[in-house]
């Protein structure tokens, strides 16, 4: 049996949520379903000792990494015991990494740790990892991943257009401007294989001369965890974690609205970076709430402090129907989708994210901005409403859905839900992953 280690640079597993961490768990479970020996290596920034955790039947080894900022130049010298990591690597056939820091770490030191076994290192990139030399927020001069390739191919375009945007939005940093391009150039050169979850990554591989290393795997979502449930089934479980996490309004008001015929519009994810565009939901809801008295907005996730401050200028009757929840435990997130009637992903960069697919897998009416790779769904026979991420466009889209909610529920239940579960379940995903590893190997 092939031994696979999935590596990430992060904190304690109890704090994991969204993004790379969700991809990590989904990949681990899928490969386990495919009959492979799987273990997660966590380069843990707040762990004091080597220790094992088991979450969802996946073994996780926490490896203390005493570094405050993972993007600093001295990162590699801070892993507490390189020899232990070396022994782990020598017992592996494949290592799959899902974040840029651990990817750089393993490709750089692969030769040092190899003995008789030829370890293969695979990278499952995210965000704009393969499309821009700087890991930065979306550049206003490009409205899709594909156009962002201009950064990598045209130095003049980068200097005159994109660098000023970086300085304005993220400020000048050594990491953004110098270290990230060095990291990615080393990774691209030395990585054994690239596992592409989005179609655009295949285009990126082609433009960067990495076609032979790159295989499409798509996404995988845990169909047993994310599935249709009625609000009545999940309300009690959902409310368990709200006591300390509800950032505005109160638990009793939310409970009252959940028990009545209110229509919940929602988002689960992160409030930052700014391209997440979560404020668009509040602005659009502010308008819709004047005409629909039975709608509620609930936003759940990390980095929501600025959004709470944004509510101060909104009329009280509207704010009473807006609920912002700070963070959500990994064990409760699936219940959160089930209390939402209409899920919205307003991203300015790419609305084909894990949260969009989790909402679809949960049988929720789902709408997404027309940015990035959302058309990947259409090629698979999954046709969801999309909108230009501006207030008037989102308002028009939501108004149509609210006015025709029975029609949209019917389409979701009969057409979209079955197709999503057929394509994105973990068994299918595990087969795609295993096939990609074997093809590249």
Taking only the tens place, the pLDDT of each residue in 344-396 is 999 987 889 999 999 999 999 999 998 878 888 988 999 999 999 999 999 99
Task: Specify whether 67 is located in the same domain as 157.
Answer: yes
The b-or-e profile of 181-199 (16+ CB within 10 A means b, else e) is eebbeebbeebbbbbbbbb
User: What does the pLDDT average to over 93-101?
Assistant: 82
Same domain, 34 and 121: yes
- Residue whose C-alpha is closest to residue 63's, from 46, 76, 38: 46
Quick one: 95 exposed, middle or buried, by C-beta within 10 A (0-12, 13-18, 19+)?
buried
Q: What is the mean pLDDT of residues 299-318?
A: 83
- Rounded to whole angstroms, the Cα distance separating 7 from 10 reads 10
Residue 168 lies in a domain: yes
197-201, 280-284, 295-299: least confidently modelled range: 197-201
Strand partners, 194: 123, 214
The answer to whether 144 and 370 are in contact (CB under 8 A) is no
| Model pLDDT for residues 219-242, shown as the tens digit of each residue | 999 999 999 999 989 988 888 777
d(CA 286, CA 124): 39
Residue 72 pLDDT: 44
pLDDT score for 416: 96
User: Percentage of the chain surpassing pLDDT 90?
Assistant: 35
- pLDDT surpassing 50 at residue 77: no
Cα three-residue angle 22-23-25, rounded to 5 degrees: 65
Return the higher-pLDDT residue of 117 and 26: 26
Same domain, 70 and 196: yes
Q: What gap in Å lies between CA 173 and CA 165, rounded to an integer? A: 13
Q: What's this model's pTM, rounded to 2 decimal places? A: 0.86
The 3-state DSSP class for residue 285 equals helix
Question: Are 377 and 384 spatial neighbours (Cβ–Cβ below 8 Å)?
Answer: yes
Taking CA atoms, 132 is separated from 72, 144, 151, in Å, by 20, 11, 6
Highest mean pLDDT among 184-198, 208-222, 260-274, 354-368: 354-368
* DSSP assignment string, 183-223: HHHHHHHH-SEEEESSHHHHHHHHHTT-GGGEEE----B-T
Identify the pLDDT of residue 346.
Answer: 95
Dist CA 257 CA 361 (whole Å) = 24
279 and 419, same domain (yes or no): yes
Instruction: Indicate if the pLDDT at residue 81 is higher than 60.
Output: no
Residue 115: HSE in the Cβ half-sphere, 13 Å Cα cutoff: 7
Q: Which stretches within 231-313 are classed as H helix?
A: 231-240, 251-258, 279-288, 305-310
Q: Please check whether residues 194 and 239 belong to one and the same domain.
A: no
What pLDDT shows up at residue 164?
67
Q: Which residue has the higher pLDDT, 336 or 177?
A: 336
Residue 66's pLDDT is 58
Nearest to 170 by CA among 259, 241, 262, 275: 275
Mean pLDDT (the chain, rounded): 81
Same domain, residue pair 403 and 279: yes
Q: Look up residue 312 and give its two tokens.
A: 């101060």
The most confident of 62-66, 197-201, 281-285, by mean pLDDT: 281-285
Name the most confidently modeled range: 93-97, 201-205, 415-419. Answer: 415-419
Residue 93 has a pLDDT of 83
Number of domains in the chain: 2
State residue 148's pLDDT score: 43
Instruction: Report if residue 13 sits inside a domain.
Output: yes
Distance CA 70, CA 302 (A): 19
The single residue listed with the structure tokens 């990947």 is 376
Q: Are residues 115 and 241 in the same domain?
A: no
Q: What letter would DSSP give residue 312?
A: G
189: containing domain: 3-221+427-440
Which CATH number is 156's domain given?
3.40.50.2000
Convert the pLDDT of each residue in 128-165 to its tens digit.
666 554 333 444 444 344 444 444 456 676 677 666 65
Cα 341-377-17 angle, rounded to 5 deg: 60
Question: Would you mind telling me the total number of residues written for the chain in this entry?
Answer: 441
Tell whether 253 and 193 lie within a shared domain.
Answer: no
- Predicted confidence at residue 388, as pLDDT, reads 93
Question: What is the pLDDT at residue 116?
Answer: 52
Per-residue pLDDT for 127 more than 70? no
> Is the same domain home to 365 and 310?
yes
* 377 and 303 share one domain: yes
With respect to residue 189, please indicate whether it lies within any of the assigned structural domains: yes
Do 173 and 161 lie in one domain? The reply is yes
**β partners of residue 190:** none
CA distance 193 to 373: 21
Residue 294 pLDDT > 50: yes
In this model, does residue 340 exceed pLDDT 90?
A: yes
* 237-247 pLDDT, tens digit each: 888 777 677 77
Whether 250 and 168 map to the same domain: the answer is no
| Residue 226, domain member (yes or no) | no
Dihedral-angle region of residue 368 (phi above 0 means left; psi in -120 to 50 means alpha; beta otherwise): beta
């Amino acid at each position: 049996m092939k031994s696979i280690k999935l590596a990430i640079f992060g904190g304690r597993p109890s704090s994991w949520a969204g993004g790379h961490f969700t991809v990590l768990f989904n990949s681990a479970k899928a490969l386990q379903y495919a009959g492979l020996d799987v273990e997660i290596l966590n380069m843990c920034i707040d762990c004091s000792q080597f220790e094992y955790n088991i979450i969802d039947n996946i073994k996780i080894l926490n490896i203390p990494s005493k570094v405050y900022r993972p993007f600093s130049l001295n990162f590699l010298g801070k892993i507490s015991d390189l020899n232990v990591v070396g022994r782990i690597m020598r017992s592996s056939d494949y290592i799959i990494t899902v974040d840029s820091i651990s990817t750089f770490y393993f490709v750089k030191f692969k030769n040092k740790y190899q003995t008789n076994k030829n370890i293969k290192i695979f990278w499952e990139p995210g965000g704009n990892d393969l499309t821009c030399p700087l890991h930065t927020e979306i550049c206003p001069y490009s409205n899709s991943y594909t156009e962002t390739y201009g950064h990598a191919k045209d130095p003049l375009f980068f200097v005159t257009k994109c660098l000023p945007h970086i300085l304005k939005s993220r400020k000048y940093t050594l990491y953004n401007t110098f270290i990230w391009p060095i990291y990615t150039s080393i990774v691209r050169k030395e990585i054994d294989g690239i596992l592409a979850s989005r179609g655009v990554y295949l285009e990126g591989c082609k433009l960067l001369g990495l076609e032979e290393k790159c295989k499409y795997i798509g996404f995988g979502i845990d169909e047993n965890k994310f599935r249709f449930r009625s609000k009545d089934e999940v309300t009690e479980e959902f409310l368990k974690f709200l006591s300390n996490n509800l950032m505005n309004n109160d638990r009793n008001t939310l409970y009252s609205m959940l028990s009545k015929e209110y229509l919940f519009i929602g988002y689960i994810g992160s409030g930052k970076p700014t391209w997440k565009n979560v404020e668009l939901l509040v602005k659009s809801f502010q308008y819709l709430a004047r005409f629909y008295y039975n709608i509620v907005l609930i936003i759940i996730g990390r980095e929501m402090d600025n959004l709470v401050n944004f509510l101060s200028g909104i009329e009280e009757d509207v704010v009473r129907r807006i609920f912002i929840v700070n963070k959500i435990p990994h064990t409760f997130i699936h219940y959160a989708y089930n209390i939402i009637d209409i899920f919205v992903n307003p991203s300015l960069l790419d609305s084909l994210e894990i949260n969009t697919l989790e909402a679809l897998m949960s049988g929720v009416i789902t709408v997404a901005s027309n940015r990035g790779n959302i058309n990947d769904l259409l090629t698979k026979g999954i046709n969801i409403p999309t909108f230009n991420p501006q207030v008037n466009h989102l308002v028009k889209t939501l108004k149509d859905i609210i006015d025709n909610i029975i029609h949209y529920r019917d389409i979701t239940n009969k057409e979209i839900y079955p197709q999503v579960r057929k394509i994105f379940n973990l068994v299918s995903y595990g087969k795609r992953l295993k096939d990609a590893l074997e093809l590249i190997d």
